[in-house]
Amino acid sequence: MVTGLTILLAVAMLAVLAVLIFGVVVFSRGGPTNDRWSTRLMNLRVATQAAAVLILGLILLLRKHS
């Protein structure tokens, strides 16, 4: 169970990194693309970070009780 969650945590962390990099690229270009995507990408980054933190907390909780 913990191994599967560890893999899921790695995927979530990579998703955070991908959204962050995409956001930096969009921000650096500016213009209408930035206007359209900046808020969406920020919300997506926060959501993926929250998911990663929740998965990490679950892993720590399961390791403590096993």
Total domains present in the chain: 1
Q: Closest by alpha carbon to 5, among 56, 61, 63?
A: 56
Q: How confident is the model at residue 48 (pLDDT cuts 50, 70, 90)?
A: very high
Range of 13's domain?
2-64
How confident is the model at residue 1, as a pLDDT?
84
* Mean pLDDT calculated for residue range 29-56: 95
pLDDT bin (cut points 50, 70, 90) of residue 60 is very high
**Percentage of residues in the chain having pLDDT higher than 70:** 100
Q: Is residue 47's pLDDT more than 90?
A: yes
2 pLDDT above the threshold of 90: no
Provide the greatest CA pair distance for the chain.
52
Half-sphere exposure of 1 (CA within 13 A, CB side): 10
